[in-house]
Amino acid sequence: MRGLYRVQGVVERRNTVPILGNVLIEPAGDGIALSATNMEIGLRGTVPAQVKKKGTVTVNARKLYEIVREVTAEDVVLKAGASGWVDFLAGRSRFKIVSLDAKDYPELPLGTGAPAGIAIKIASSTLREMIDKTLFAASDDESRFNLAGVYVETPEAGTLRMVATDGHRLAMIDRAVPEARLKNGAILPRKLLDETDDAAEVTLTIAEKDVRLHTPAVSFFMRLVEGEFPDYKQVVPAGSGVTASLNRDDFLAALRRMSLLASERSHGVKLSLGKGTVELSASSPEQGEASEDLEAGYNGDPLAIGFNVRYLMDVLGVHPPAETVEFGLTDEVGPGVIRGSLDPSYTYVVMPMRL
């Protein structure tokens, strides 16, 4: 069931090419391999099984998953029956499922041999952290396809960098990865990011047009996002005129309260900085208004600036609890820069808004 669950997000749902809605089942090592693709993304995962007679079949991935999820037997049996059918046995339950010819299933570049490209071995936990701290800032506008993924590069040997932006905010993280050496940066599609499995280490292989992620149990293939990623270095300010230090938990909780009465159109929250305090306020003509004072390490001149409250809540949500965050500002119209005291290698830039 777990193996079939993995492929659900990959198989073609629109049924424009029927066989792309199927999972390919074939012998592999000490079990079977389950493969799925929509031609942009491909996945091949292995699960333990006893193969009594070798063969390859395809069945509807969604329907097979639903059946396996509902049967109560611990073990199940798959057997190629008459032409165009697969018998599925589970305890006293018996199913006959339509099968399409495996010869028509597209071949995926997910073989066990070393694929072409630059391979980077990285701890699964590190990769997940980098993705979690950047992907939320990527654009969900399909027309801006070059902003719909995460840009990855190596600013220097041994350092892996990931950057995401939607034009209103930018998240950037660096991590030490000894084998990281990319000639050129690449834009990874969003779909990569949940396939790290439970492996301690994964191999990320970036080729000219695709990227592959390998663990002992899963191989994942994706087309790279085409287009040029913007020059993000121009967006990150060289320095900040003033900085406010705030407790992450208190700041996030106050922003959540302000969001309740923020304008549904702009989602704006105003930050008014004064000596030792930051006042948060939000208002909506239809709903009302709210304000709250927070203690802050701030000794600069009074400064008032507006931001999209969701953009601030998103980044604080990936910072660890109880951390002190540094909110750097230049003036009322310049971008804000948020960094945490525990991780200076993680930077978030957010553009202000007029309120």
Tens of pLDDT, residue by residue over 303-340, are: 999 999 999 999 999 999 999 999 999 999 999 999 99
pLDDT of residue 218: 85
pTM of structure? 0.84
Print burial letters for 173-205: b (CB count within 10 Å at least 16), e (below 16). bbbebeebebeebbbbbbbbbebbbeeeebbbb
Q: How many domains does the chain have?
A: 3
Say which residues have a Cβ less than 8 Å from residue 83's Cβ, sequence separation at least 6: none
pLDDT of residue 240: 82
Does 113 reside within a domain?
no
pLDDT of residue 11: 87
| Residue spans of the chain under pLDDT 70 | 109-116, 191-199
Nearest to 305 by CA among 285, 328, 289, 324: 328
Structure confidence by residue, pLDDT tens digits, 129-157: 999 999 999 998 878 889 989 999 999 98
Does 296 reside within a domain?
yes
Say which residues have a Cβ less than 8 Å from residue 211's Cβ, sequence separation at least 6: 117, 186, 188, 189, 192, 204, 205, 221, 222, 224
Coil/strand/helix, residue 332: coil
Domain co-membership, 204 together with 254: no
As a whole number of angstroms, the distance between CA 317 and CA 313 comes to 6
Does 188 reside within a domain?
yes
Does 112 reside within a domain?
no
Domain of 13, in residue numbers: 2-104
pLDDT of residue 113: 47
Domain co-membership, 62 together with 132: no
Coil/strand/helix, residue 234: helix
Choose one of 193, 215, 233: the last residue of a domain. Answer: 233
As a whole number of angstroms, the distance between CA 71 and CA 50 comes to 19
pLDDT of residue 197: 57
**Residue 144 · residue 210 · CB < 8 Å:** no
